[in-house]
Structure 1
Amino acid sequence: MKISYKWLQEYLDLDLPAQEVAEKIERSSVEVDSVKVPMDGLKKIVVGLVTKVEPHPDSDHLHICQVDVGDESLQIVCGAPNVAEGEKVIVALPGSRIANNVKIKRSKMRGIESSGMLCSLDEIGLDKEVVPNEWADGIYLLPDDAVLGDAVFSYLGMDDALINIDVTPNRGDMLSIYGTVKDLAAIYNLKDHFNVRSVTENGQQATDTEITATANPDLAPTYKLRVINNVLIKPSPRWLQIKLWQAGIKPINNVVDVTNYVLWKYGQPMHSYDLDKINGQHLDVRYAKAGETITTLDEKSYELNETDMVVADKNQPVGIAGIMGGQQTEITNETTNVVLEAAVFDPIKLRKTARHYVIRTEASQRFERGINVGGVQQAIDEAAALISELANGEVAKGTLNATELESVEPVVSTTLTHINKVLGTELSMNQVVDIFDRLGFTTDVENDALAVKIPLRRWDIHEAADLDEEVARIYGYDNLPVTLPDTDGMVGHLTEPQKLARSARQVLEGLGLTQAISYSLTTAKKAGMFLMQPSLATELKWPMTQDHAVLRMNLISGLLDDVAYNNARKVKDIALYEQGRVFYRNDADEVRPVEVEHLAGAISGSLDQAGWNQKALPVDFYQLKGIVNQLLINLSISGEIEYVATDELPEMHPGKTAKILVHGHEVGFIGEVHPSIAKQFKIAPTYVFELNLQEITNMPKNDNQYQLISKYPTIKRDIAIEVAKEISNEQIISVIKKRGGKLLNSIHLFDVYDGDKVAAGQKSLAYSLVFVNTKETLKDEDVNAAVDKIKKHLTEELSATIR
């Protein structure tokens, strides 16, 4: 919210630099985004008087103007349609700087010399969105009392400092000049002189004879209307327009501008209707009906839901309650009778509607964060008084109250002892009471106890902790004593799951992978890929984008997005891993999904770099399997690790995918991404794995222990067998391990052959077996006996032929 410093100074005797006041606000109340003076960076822009206008001989729209700037007369060529003799204008002199640091030089326009420029508002820095329609297509005309040669900035409010505050949700009272003034008055211990206009009901009719209203109290606990007759719609006076465009609001006309002015001054959203366009002269706050539509003031059409709050006349909705009015009843130049609306709408229902239609307005922002329920009447009265003054209107007698919330100031109790204990201070009762008085709170004191009555403008104060905060910030956070926490010292340490996760990261990074971090939110399609268990999607009710609408149920799809990002930028060799949580829902009635820790990796291209004597080979299934296998070994998993071929995952290549089992329990999968999925992601062939890290964490682990290196020599024996092609390497190794005895130390497959030298349907495999005895020197007869036993059982169990 942009706040004019000069507007604050109208109600507070502040003579400090705006930057200093902004810093005080940030240190005591809410964050300040910036402090800007619109004239900064502009120079040599002055008031000029057009003394003569002639048409350009070589143009049908340019004019040759003689402009008096006080100490000299300049010839300036201008194309604005509203330039005229006798008008005072904005003149950028030769050598001046206008918006966007543009320098104005003497030049020729179609052969005619031009010494400067006559400027529009946006050309000297105002946002085009806030320039009033009357000046949108031409230059801006200054008031008659503007002094020739003076800088124009003071006439346009551009010499004012604009403090842009970022209001937190709990301090909605600061979304107004009124709330900011009250807060600064307390901070600086000043008395404000906030002016409130009183209304004179000078009309002949009563409000309730011109319009009727009803309101659902659950939707609008307070709903008030006033009528102003015989208004003359015209542009607002310059002072009002300046206040609005400083706030970032476009001036429209003297009625609409008044409602926006009151919004900024009091934080009370208001709306104005053309009374003669309201069917049946009746307004009703209700839920929308199925099939109802509305075209809002921004010319957008909406089909309403039955949960939307609307303001409707006898026939149809004329506004989305608290958010935006309808085009049907807008104030136009032909309007003569105006209905003013001021209300308190249900913030939760209003926010849901605003989010559903993606409509964010200044009004909805304030209703969502809360408004001063005790100031609604004051706001509507001041608006009626201003419209009467600026539009020559006649204010009808009385306010029509369809509903009105009972305004009771809450009382919060605390004690001086409690405040001092929480803040670590030694404040006296008089100091605390003085702080509450500065805030406008009423305090009753009895011994150590305080009963504090809170004004309705501070709806964020509910309990003793809130009073503690108020005392702290007004007393000054810098004045609070600084102490070290009084706690028993203890050494920090990682939990077992944290140790395992960190160890997993170290292993993968040591094997050449780089950590990636993906969004937990993705699309519904990507969330449903690579599922390790059946699950329902967890959808966000109000996603910021459709690409981040569902909680992920796998990590691989996020990694594939990263691979695609790199592939699109000509990076071919990619090795990534990610550790994070996935979210499962087993039942549609589950409010919160189950969070499970997973670990995944993706490798595309080559993991090894090319050298002078070897090429970089593309990654394959076995290389990735080696990485995963080493990871599980390093994690000291107790149990046999198995890889079982599977075609159950539709996103994985059916012939290059395997389940990962530990002691018979499935903990993940590994393989190549299906070519069709790779094509969807626009990536090169990619191998991936995903593990249920939480399940691995819960599995029993081998105790860390070391094995002595034998001081006795090993014996190596090779064995070659011929078996049926359907016999797997795993089956053969299982037999060798089982029958090899305690002397068998390692097994290594070094050759596979299935050519024409073996029988059809057969294959030949050769293994190196290493035997060792840690206690004594091995004997050939012991090794021979072990090898013979292995051969025997390979023949019996697998029908193998020893070669």
Structure 2
Amino acid sequence: MRVSFKWLQEYVDIDVAPEALAESLTLAGLAVEGMEEPGKGIEKVYTGKILKIDAHPNADKLVICQVEVGEGEQTQIVTGATNVREGQVVPVAVVGAKLAGGLTIKKAKLRGVESRGMLCSGDELGLDPDMLPDDQRHGIMILPAGTPVGVDVKPLIGLDDVIMELELTPNRGDCMSMLGVAREVAAILQKPLKLPSADFSTIPPGPEDRVQIDIDDPDLCRRYVARLLKNVKVGPSPVWMQQRLRAAGVRPISNVVDVTNYVMMETGQPMHAFDYHKLKDGHIIVRRAAKGETIISLDKAERKLTPDMLVITDPNGPVAVAGVMGGLDSEVTENTTAVLLESAYFKPVNVRRTSRDLGLRSESSSRFEKGIDITGCLRAADRAAALLAQMGAAEVVDLVVDNYPAPAVDKTVLLRPDRVNRILDTELATDEISTLLTRLQFKVREENDGLLVTVPGHRPDVGIEADLIEEVARLYGYNRVKNTLPTGVITQGGRKHDQRLAINVKNFLAQSGFYEVITYSFVNIRVFDRLGLPEDSHYRSVVSLQNPLSEEQAVMRALLFPGLLEVLQRNSNRRVKDGAVFELGRVFYPRPGETLPEEVPVLAAAVTGVTPGGWNARPVPMDFYYLKGVLEALLAHTGIKDVSFIPATGNNVFHPGRVASVLAGDVELGIIGELHPDVQENYDLDQRVTVMELDFNRLTRVSGAPKQYRPLPKFPGVDRDLAVVVRQDIPARQVIETISQAGGSILQDVRVFDIYRDEHFAPGEHSMAFALKFQAADRTLTDEEVAKKTEAIMQALQRDFGAVLRK
């Protein structure tokens, strides 16, 4: 929004400099992004009247002008402008003058004829050519007839002004007008606001004067005011109005159009002027557009309308797109003698949608989109009529139609002073708060322990108590509010259990020496052949892509670890033989009758080779037991209890006898195993590879058991070693379970520390050695107690497994 400092002074007696006012507005929430002085650097440019024009004797494209630049003072100027005529009043830069851009005017001879000055174009005076009439964009600026001669041109055309560029937030549509900004300035400076006059006299309507307004869609048009003017004389608007419009960034066109634009910039109420005689029977209908209906807008483009768009029509068809742009057929021209002024309220959302769909954005639409003062429609129409009557451009007919189906009801909001002070951390008294809001033209009355605040129509953005508190803070001064840190919970958000677990798992594996990788979700269907999966394997039922990038990425993966094998293969080809990698990603399974597949999060890991050695540690093979140990530690770390590894069979992917299902109680989490030699060869890996793959949803479901802490023992423990000979097909886990049950409460720990095979054992047998730790919490154990428990353990092993004590 461009705000003219001189124009602003018409409504408020401003006693501060423009720079100080800009700072005050910015502190009040209306950010001044820039300031412009259009006449800065321009000197000695006056109005001059062209008395005589003669042809140049030595140049066909030059003319010699005799120009009066003051009473009895003439000067000769040679120019090449083609739009100059005798009797015109134009800006004249005399010798010694300075123009925009730093140009200094000196005496000169043009083709042998002396020239003492220059006739100026708008561009040479720093004006935007787009803000000038069409015939003056590329020629000399022509001032209106009757302009006094010999006066400084800067105040005449607004070059002595200061323009402030406001960066408004979307909720402050009220400040998209001079009066809106003036209200803020009056409140800040504590000055009275001077409202413009809307006084005019009227003439009685004739028998042929008829105005009828029908609103077929009151949900999209809540009010429509139409006022009739007759004996209209279309011509240029006064210099002062043109100057103000240019300062606001609006190009002057004609007095009627300029007045509608002027009132819009002044009050924020968009307006439109129809040629009354081009409207059939003076009948306006506000309705939705019919399907396939079109209109030729003022920019001479044909617009296709849709039933979502609101249009202004007469009985013959559309004459304007509501809130966006008028139609060419009802345009005001130099032949217009009667005008119907429109001042209406259209639904902001509908105007925005229409403007977007038509690719038309105008000053009117931008104001309707943000919401205007519905109570100001009639005032704006009266103001426009008064201006046209004052400049003698029209007579106002005593005929105005105000179709207002559901008049707006004033909003009243309860404001609690204690809440104001609590939020702002201030100590404002109730009457101070009331005074601040009254300065902003809110009506305030005390009610019990609070204030009942009636919101004026020009502030549709204020609707709740928090909005009023913001208004108090703005006018009180943000810079006066104490700097305090916020208290309480800043955000109510947080990670869910599965998200926390995912981070925990990744961190644990990374700390265990594994590298996280991310592989493609798209794979080649031949991956199942490389794994040796049978044709009836459910993993071969995959989700195919309709438009794959290549054959290598034609289906969605159903297993995660094959991608890890490709990572190990790629590294092995580059002579990086040892590796431990993991990935937490998703696999995809088709769902019958569903468009989208089922996505299952999966944790997979793969190891091969040996760990890095050091001066105090030898490399450790990363085999089945290495990965199993990492997995056991991971499950314990994430609070998963009752973990067991059950031998798995019937799987062609893994080495027979070196694969196990991972269970937590009765829940099967996944599988761990060493690759089958054939699969290892298919992936061109020359070392043993062990992989695991776990269903992360199930992992999440059984995780999170609380950690239990026990006090340090006060009494010493007793260590015993026990070596027994059992069949080789008996899992160590079953033997440990029997030992634990037989050892009772005083057996604190059991672990295998040796497996031994010898030719002296019977075929199919081997020795397993266990380290037992006995300890009681309330006493020191005796040798006799430990011996009895050891004997009981041995008897249980003999009973369950036929075990014998190794000698």
Change (3 A) 1:102 1:302: farther
* Letter of the structure 2 residue corresponding to residue 37 of structure 1: E
Change (3 A) 1:389 1:766: closer
d(CA) in 2 for partners of 1:264, 1:652: 56
RMSD in angstroms over aligned alpha carbons?
5.1
SS at match of 1:340: strand
Question: AA paired with 2:20?
Answer: E
Contact 1:373 1:407 survives alignment (8 Å): yes
Corresponding residue number in structure 1 for 2:319:
318
- The match for 2:30 is 30
- Paired position in structure 1 for 2:200: 199
Q: Which amino acid is 2:204 matched to?
A: Q
Correspondence 1:4-15 to 2 at 5 A = 4-15=4-15
Q: Secondary structure in 1 aligned to 2:386?
A: helix
- 2:91 maps to a residue whose letter is V
CA shift in 2, pair 1:715/1:432, >3 Å? closer
Q: Which amino acid aligns with 2:278?
A: K
Structure-2 change in CA distance of 1:747 and 1:185 (3 Å): same
Matched, 1:650 2:555: no
In 2, Cα distance between equivalents of 1:221 and 1:764 = 74
For residues 286 and 489 of structure 2, the distance between their equivalents in structure 1, rounded to whole angstroms, comes to: 59
C-alpha change, 1:389 and 1:69, in structure 2 (3 Å) is closer
Alpha carbons of 1:288 and 1:446: their partners in 2 closer, same or farther (altered >3 Å)?
Answer: closer
Question: Partner of 1:98 in structure 2?
Answer: 100
Question: Deviation string for 1:605-626 (max 9, x for gaps)?
Answer: xxxxxxxxxxxxxxx99xxx9x
- The superposition leaves residues 292-343 of structure 1 with CA deviations (integer Å, 9 ceiling, x where unpaired) of 2111111111121122111111111111112111110111111111111111
SS in 2 for 1:291: coil
Q: Which residue number in structure 2 is paired with residue 89 of structure 1?
A: 91
Output the amino acid matched with 2:323: G
* 2:341 counterpart SS class: strand
SS of aligned partner of 2:254: coil
Equivalent position of 2:435 in the other structure: 434
Instruction: Summarize the alignment of residues 674-693 of structure 1 with structure 2, pairs less than 5 Å apart.
Output: none
**Distance (whole Å) between structure 1 residues aligned to residue 587 and residue 27 of structure 2:** 47
Please state how far the C-alpha of 1:745 moved relative to its aligned partner. Answer: 8.9
Structure 1 contact 712–777 (Cα < 8 Å) conserved: no
1:40 correspondence with 2:40: yes
Write the distance in 1 (CA, Å) between the matches of 2:600 and 2:251. Answer: 60
Identify if the C-alpha distance between structure 1 residues 177 and 208 changes in structure 2 by more than 3 Å, giving closer, same or farther. Answer: farther
Q: Per the alignment, do residues 392 and 94 of structure 1 end up closer, same or farther by CA in structure 2, a change over 3 Å counting?
A: closer
Q: Is the 8 A contact 2:286 2:312 kept in 1?
A: yes
Mapping of residues 340-739 of structure 1, within 5 Å: 340-487=341-488, 497=499, 648=545, 650-655=547-552, 659-662=556-559, 698-699=601-602, 711=618, 737-738=655-656
Q: Corresponding residue for 2:215?
A: 215
CA contact (8 A) 1:3 1:177 kept: yes
Q: How far off its partner does 1:701 sit?
A: 7.3
Cα 1:292–1:770 change in 2 (3 A) is: closer
Q: Which residue of 1 aligns with 2:771?
A: none
Aligned in 2, Cα 1:750/1:420: closer, same or farther, shift over 3 Å? closer
Structure 2 match to 1:2: 2
CA contact (8 A) 1:236 1:253 kept: yes
**What's the offset of the Cα at 1:241?**
0.8
Evaluate the alpha carbon distance shift between residue 736 and residue 3 of structure 1 in structure 2; reply closer, same or farther with a 3 A threshold: closer
Give 1:119 deviation, angstroms: 2.0
Q: Residue 80 of structure 1 corresponds to which residue in structure 2?
A: 82
Change (3 A) 1:511 1:361: farther
Residue segments in structure 1 that go unaligned for 5+ positions in a row: 514-576, 578-598, 603-619, 626-641, 671-689, 717-732, 753-762, 782-803
Give 1:232 deviation, angstroms: 1.0
AA paired with 1:20? A
Question: SS of the residue aligned with 1:221?
Answer: strand
8 Å Cα contact 2:130/2:137 also seen in 1: no
Secondary structure of residue in 1 paired with 2:398 = coil
* Whole-Å separation in 2 of the counterparts to 1:146 and 1:196: 27
CA distance in 1, matches of 2:753, 2:69: 109
CA separation in 1, counterparts of 2:392 and 2:329? 22
Change (3 A) 1:14 1:108: same
Alpha-carbon separation, structure 2, partners of 1:142 and 1:779: 116
Deviations 1:603-658 (Å, cap 9, x if unpaired)? Answer: xxxxxxxxxxxxxxxxx99xxx9xxxxxxxxxxxxxxxx99999745232215666
Aligned to 1:785: none
- Percent of residue pairs bearing the same amino acid type: 31
The residue matched to 1:396 in structure 2 has which SS? Answer: strand
For normalisation by structure 1, the TM-score amounts to: 0.65
Q: CA deviation at 1:402?
A: 3.0
Call closer, same or farther: CA 1:138–1:277 in 2, change over 3 Å: same
Whole-angstrom CA distance in 1 between matches of 2:265 and 2:521: 54
Secondary structure at the counterpart of residue 375 of structure 1 = helix
How far apart in 1 are the matches of 2:103 and 2:190? 44
1:28-55 deviation per Cα after TM superposition (whole angstroms, max 9, x unaligned)? 1323232211123555655455455321
Distance of aligned partners of 1:778 and 1:646 in 2 relative to their CA distance in 1, 3 Å threshold: farther
**Which residue is 1:239 aligned to?**
240
Given that residues 43 and 98 in structure 1 are in contact (C-alpha distance below 8 angstroms), is that contact kept between their aligned partners in structure 2? no
* C-alpha separation in 2, matches of 1:69 and 1:41: 21
For 2:428 and 2:347, locate their aligned partners in 1 and report how far apart those are by CA, in whole Å: 40
How do residues 77-226 of structure 1 correspond to structure 2 at under 5 angstroms? Answer: 77-84=79-86, 87-91=89-93, 96-98=98-100, 117-142=118-143, 148=150, 152-201=153-202, 203-205=203-205, 209-216=209-216, 217-226=218-227
What is aligned with 2:706?
A: none
Q: Is the 8 A contact 1:46 1:93 kept in 2?
A: no
Which has the higher Rg, Structure 1 or Structure 2? 2
Listed one character per residue, the Cα deviations across residues 385-424 of structure 1 (whole Å, up to 9, x for unaligned) are 2122224422111311233542432221122222222221
Deviations for 1:349-389, whole angstroms, at most 9, x for unmatched residues?
A: 22221111011111111112111122111111111121222
Residues 2 and 163 in structure 2, CA contact (< 8 A), matched pair in contact too: yes
Tell me the amino acid that sits aligned with residue 253 of structure 2.
I
Instruction: Give, in whole Å, the separation in 2 of the partners of 1:776 and 1:45.
Output: 108
Give the distance between the partners of 1:489 and 1:130, measured in 2 at CA. 50
Pairing 1:263-278 to 2, within 5 Å after superposition? 263-278=264-279
Residue 741 of structure 1, CA deviation: 9.1
Report the counterpart of residue 330 of structure 1 in structure 2. 331
Q: Sort the Cα spacing of 1:766 and 1:298 in 2 relative to 1 into closer, same or farther, 3 A.
A: closer
1:260: how far off?
0.8
SS at match of 2:472: helix
Contact 2:348-2:369 at 8 Å conserved across structures: yes
SS of aligned partner of 1:397: strand
Contact kept? 2:586, 2:601, Cα under 8 Å: no
Contact persistence 1:643–1:659 (CA under 8 A): no
Residues 1:433 and 1:142: Cα distance change in structure 2 (over 3 Å): same
Query: C-alpha distance in 1, partners of 2:160/2:50?
Result: 24
- Where do 5+ consecutive residues of structure 2 fail to align? 528-538, 568-584, 589-596, 624-650, 661-672, 691-751, 760-807
User: Is 1:94–1:115's contact at 8 Å kept on the other side of the alignment?
Assistant: no
Assess, with a 3 A threshold, how the Cα gap between structure 1 residues 504 and 241 changes in structure 2: closer, same or farther.
farther
Aligned length: 616
**Relative to structure 1, is the Cα distance of residues 342 and 487 closer, same or farther in structure 2, using a 3 angstrom cutoff?**
closer
In structure 1, the residue corresponding to 2:444 is in which secondary structure?
strand
